[in-house]
Structure 1
């Protein structure tokens, strides 16, 4: 959406009812219903219906034909006030003339000048040397003259505009001519210059904008950026308001090290469908001597109760994001999906068909195995509650898998289940039985398994149960409702030899507290673990009795295996432990200023930490936040994937309008920082300056350096490169100084 905000100047509104006058000791009421002091830029019905009164040292005349007020003239109507040294009304209220310290006030907005003339019949006139202050927008400005050129048509000569209310504006926009057409709600300015600290920083030969805040086609504020991979960058976006439900942004991006890139975004919204198309093209990248492009398409549509969607991404080469993106989250992208699906849900029955394929961005130093393509996948899920005393669920899936170097094949999965939920206010018990039936049909290409067809049928029994207790308690100096929630989850699945089955889409699930209560420790359907196991866990919560808000949670759990060996694996190494690692977690609002969370995975036999994360946030006030984080993980089978990292980030006021921001993410294993970010923000009240430097690792041998500088003129425009998305992503709790001011108000 455009960043250049509409420039709107509200000026005068009509008067048209009786006037009250004070002529020394005499008071008399003069009826001049046709009197109207100015054209209407934003007519208020309430003011139109309000009576109008005039207060002056001297008032003379006859009705509407010839009225003259002199000396401290004050005209009141509704919330409107007009003041002047002298006021004349002639020609049945059509000719208006005010002189001497003319001031008009409405809604807290004020305009002043030495003289004002208007012909009500033609809508033509002039306000000489007007100065204005718009309290509603926190803005001010002045002009040589304001010309009334017809009904709802206005033209300022040599006009200025600024949201700096101080006498010497730090920034302002100056236009040789500013026209406001309220018949079309359009404004136009010529020879517009933006001044900062007295120096011109931008020039626009011509500009236009809407007066009602609606969208309008036009050039947006340019942005700048520097990076070691791209050099200096200049992007000048053009916004095209195609229709109320369609728009596009076209952005030429000059990259000094690589050339001229053209970026485009097209958005559309209809009652039954919507979507976004994004495309980028860089002709003949000077660094690699080839054309480069990126494309992304998202579409969602309703068709007679069906939902249809497309999610497609593609780039020209594997290093596209490393070389041309300014975001770490994008540069770490590996698999780009090309997906299309259609689905329908009705009465508990959901049908889905989709195709899915990936573009895998390989790295020179780390070979990546592309995922299987699903061409197509057909799924059915039917949930039927209250079938007698049971709940019935049927999940079925047919998928055709394809891969350039591995065995291709088709897989059919049918998984019906019946459960009996029994519950009360303090307990629940849910037995469940299911059957997981699978059939494979494999091609002969790249088939090293020695089979062409295979089936597997596995019965599954599970029992889920828990209790709920609560009491009043005092923790962290606060009275709370404390709960105690023990839970037992039993699973029994007989062993099936699956070593000769293909692995199309299965991986071992990340071991977590929620995974403790799943039947299968694998994602996908190619492996179903054997099980004769019991998970025991207990959770305790602290709940504010007044608000019902959860202020703390404590949980601990472990899985126990009644069979000594778990033989179903992906790497052919059986699991021989009699119990899983212990998982524990804490999440608590420690005080009004501190929030903390801890997750801990411990091997009980070796008494060794396998995985841990600790997060602390200190936030004593808005704009003051310090985040401390620690990550440790040695659970991956490959030692190269182990990591230990420290993370520190925050935002803090330095005084006199200055704020510091930063992040430091350090890898102990690599003995180097993975990302360093630091910056300053200065808020001068009506403008803000942001300076941010960022350095992050994109691969084991490549780092990206970026520098952002942004100048924001409040309620008008942002000039430079925008670091706000980076700061919000990297610093939890970050707020701009303007957001802090608005929240404080």
Structure 2
């Protein structure tokens, strides 16, 4: 049966889902009401075991009554439609369900003329927030909105109401982003905690202005700290967060975060300011600022900005940072303009730094312009041109400055197939320097360096079918060989502006350059050999990969910065192994074949049962890094204790000094409707003294406590994710298998 006059059975509220199960498990969200495609707009369909119609004015339905429209559904034991009084009344185990909410009620009264709906003695659940509750009366008006009288609300499951809100009335106006509550009492268990005569709350998943949950922690650097964020939804594409931070040892700090987003760009401004730091001798002001911008000017041009600064060397060590860590020595100040097309890429970069501590001041590239061109219009040959123009300056007045122009045309013959690849290329490296402030340095005011470089690279790919423990597998064998020649020219009359020596791993053996930047280009006459083998399963997924490689030097280097003590490089190896479905291993090793000593190594062994069940063991060794030996062992773990309890921890020890350098332990309880976490950590403070020297003996300890009620069921497990991210800081999956 279809009755067109009942088109006003359509309403809107916040959202809808299935009612909470009668157990202490978290409610499972389901899709809202979806109407039959055959139902037209402004129509309803009524089904029942029995129907009686009197003169087309009064219709009575009994037994399993089901009233549906294109937007909502009502089920009841009995329903009466009174056309003369424009009313629909459903009684007896009534359920109302639309795309936004589901309500159980003793009776439903609908005015088919005005569209007003009233439900008595209700239990309801909302979909978007996963919230549920009860109300003496729910009234819905398609023009005004919804009003609830004698209402309660919680996100906890039935039978485990750890918290709830009771209010004499709640109203949500049509089209408004906020609801209003009158005479509200917040309960923890059955104990009233506080009372609010009036407050407003968000009724959509749109961003809303208001207070966020506070954070409380204590540390040896700040004392007891309390942070209270306030979020301001300025516009759909602008927002800001203001966070006062009260620290018992230092005073009151203000942290601000402003974000913007449009079709062509996005950016963020962060400012942190602490006036009159009580822990400093002179009560000086402390601050940090950061501005980032990533924008598209048109289809080919991009603009990127990353600008950072702080008041003093110890700011990050004392207050922490969301963007830097205590080991960083430089804060970037960069402005980049980039152009991209099919054959051309061009960039202009201004690179500056904020130096932290007593570190050698870096050269600033102000500016640095690069132009690269690539074409394949020469048959099988490729022609490319790399060029650069840069000016280097230094804040230290006694340091030289330089203008550098570099031009490097290359002709290459690349051949590729399924069974191998071959590359032959020749490059002319031509660099011009104009250097100032060079008195007594031995540098040349003007100099030109022209070098020739040729490279021949070849690789073959073999594979065969094999088996292991009853599994059908495929093994590959991939030998590689490269010959590299670079001519020599004395470069001692050129300063070092953006150049440092690179460390080799397996892939770095075939790089062909031993330095960053262009101030030093090593002469080469060398052969590099490498071998990789892989084991792939039936789905071509890598289960095992082993790579070995070494460089053989046919002549000694004449460029002093690249000089070596042996006629071959360290033997470089990499191993990635998926041991079953849960165990993974990754190792990198560089072994000197002259002394048979390990120069560098990295070992990781991981057991991962699921996303949050992880145990990883790490060891890192570097024989000589800036005159120091690195020998560290660490364990990182994340594991649920029970369904609601979770533990995360990490521990690192310096084996050279036989001391723990970092420890972190966090435990969290999380239910459907609230969570609490307690984190304790101890690490090197890395503070600087008045001379800019970093203290490697001082430690900082802190305890962090977080507690939150979940007013939205969709927040479930979000707190656990945050603790995982903090606790697994520095975590990397133990394998690099593709």
Bucket of the pairwise TM-score, normalised by the shorter protein: 0.7 to 0.9
Is 1:654 aligned to residue 641 of structure 2?
yes
In the other structure, the counterpart of 2:331 is: 336
Alignment of 1:510-589 (within 5 A): 510-545=503-538, 547-563=539-555, 565-570=556-561, 574-589=563-578
Look up the match of 1:666.
Answer: 653
CA contact under 8 A between 2:438 and 2:445: conserved in structure 1?
no
Q: Aligned to 2:714, what secondary structure does the other structure show?
A: coil
Residue among 690, 703, 710 paired with 1:707: 703
Cα deviation code 1:567-594 (max 9, x no counterpart): 3233xx8423111100111101111111
Aligned CA distance change for structure 1 residues 275 and 107 (closer, same or farther; 3 Å): closer
Partner of 1:235: 227
2:318 corresponds in structure 1 to 323
1:293-442 to structure 2, matched below 5 A, reads 293-304=287-298, 305-325=300-320, 330-362=325-357, 367-405=358-396, 406-442=399-435
By how many angstroms is 1:533 displaced? Answer: 0.8
- 1:76 equivalent to 2:64? Answer no
Aligned to 1:26: none
| 8 Å contact from structure 1 (residues 711, 720) kept in 2 | no
Alignment of 1:203-222 (within 5 A): 205-211=198-204, 213-222=205-214
Structural mapping, 1:20-419, within 5 Å: 33-35=4-6, 40-41=11-12, 46=36, 49=40, 52-53=45-46, 55=48, 62-63=54-55, 65-67=57-59, 74-77=65-68, 82=74, 87-90=79-82, 92=84, 94-98=86-90, 101-105=93-97, 110-124=102-116, 126-134=118-126, 138-148=130-140, 151-184=143-176, 186-190=178-182, 194-199=186-191, 205-211=198-204, 213-288=205-280, 289-304=283-298, 305-325=300-320, 330-362=325-357, 367-405=358-396, 406-419=399-412
Alpha-carbon deviations, 1:680-709, whole Å to 9, x = none?
Answer: 233434444332222222321333333333
Q: How far is 1:91 from its partner?
A: 5.3
Contact map agreement 1:490 1:534 (CA 8 A) in 2: yes
Alpha-carbon separation, structure 1, partners of 2:364 and 2:5: 78
Unaligned runs of 5+ in 1: 1-16, 19-31, 735-745
Contact 1:679 1:691 in 2 (8 A): yes
Q: 1:446 to 1:694 in 2, by over 3 A?
A: farther
Q: Measure the CA separation in 2 of the matches of 1:549 and 1:442.
A: 54
Name the SS of the counterpart of 2:181 in structure 1: strand
The match for 1:595 is: 584
Q: Is 1:727 matched up with 2:718?
A: no
Q: Determine if contact 1:138/1:165 at 8 Å carries over to the other structure.
A: no
Which range moved further: 295-304 or 547-556? 295-304
Distance apart, 1:116 and its partner CA:
4.0
Preserved CA contact (<8 Å) 1:223 1:720: no
Q: Does 1:609 align with 2:606?
A: no
Determine if contact 1:223/1:721 at 8 Å carries over to the other structure: no
Alpha-carbon offset, residue 179 of structure 1: 1.6
Supply the distance in 1 between the matched residues of 2:192 and 2:683 (Cα, whole angstroms). Answer: 35
Residue in 1 aligned with 2:21?
none
Moved more, 306-315 or 171-180: 171-180
CA contact (8 A) 2:634 2:651 kept: yes
Per the alignment, in what secondary structure is the counterpart of residue 290 of structure 1?
Answer: coil
Q: CA RMSD in A?
A: 3.1
Deviates more, 1:659-668 or 1:170-179: 170-179
- Structure-1 separation of matches of 2:191 and 2:681: 29
Q: 1:653 and 1:361 mapped to 2: Cα distance?
A: 39
**Residues 648, 724 of structure 2: 8 Å contact kept:** no
| 8 Å CA contact retained: 2:5, 2:112 | no
Q: Distance in 1 between matches of 2:503 and 2:234?
A: 47
- Contact 1:489–1:536 at 8 Å: present in 2 too? yes
Q: Whole-Å Cα distance in 2 between the matches of residues 127 and 505 of structure 1? A: 74
- For residues 532-565 of structure 1, give each alpha carbon's deviation from its aligned partner in whole angstroms, at most 9, with x where no partner exists: 11111101112223x22222211000111111x3
For 1:505, the equivalent position in structure 2 comes to: 498
> How many angstroms apart in 2 are the aligned matches of 1:388 and 1:56?
81
Q: What is the TM-score normalised by the length of structure 1?
A: 0.85
Shift of 1:471: 0.6
Displacement of 1:134 after TM fit? 4.8
Q: Distance between the aligned counterparts of 1:36 and 1:300, measured in 2?
A: 50
Q: Per chain length, whose mean CA-contact separation is higher, i.e. which structure has more relative contact order (CA < 8 Å, sep 6+)?
A: 2
Q: What is the Cα deviation at residue 85 of structure 1?
A: 6.4
Deviation readout 1:382-424 (Å, 9 max, x if unpaired): 1122424421121111111111332112112122221112334
Moved more, 350-359 or 103-112: 103-112
Distance 1:268 1:37, change over 3 A: closer
Residue number in structure 2 paired with 1:628: 617
CA offsets 1:143-182 (integer angstroms, 9 cap, x no match): 2332345635111134222232222412334444322223
Instruction: Report the Cα distance in structure 2 between the residues aligned to 1:393 and 1:284, rounded to whole angstroms.
Output: 57
Alignment partner of 1:421: what SS? strand
Once structures 1 and 2 are overlaid, which stretch shifts more, 437-446 or 408-417? Answer: 437-446
1:368 is paired with a residue of what secondary structure? coil
- Per-residue CA deviations over 1:642-682 (Å, capped at 9, x if unaligned) read 21111111122323533222111111123222211112233
Per-residue displacement from partner, 1:450-475 (whole Å, max 9, x unpaired)?
53222221111211111111111224
Per-residue displacement from partner, 1:430-469 (whole Å, max 9, x unpaired)?
Answer: 2211121222211126652253222221111211111111
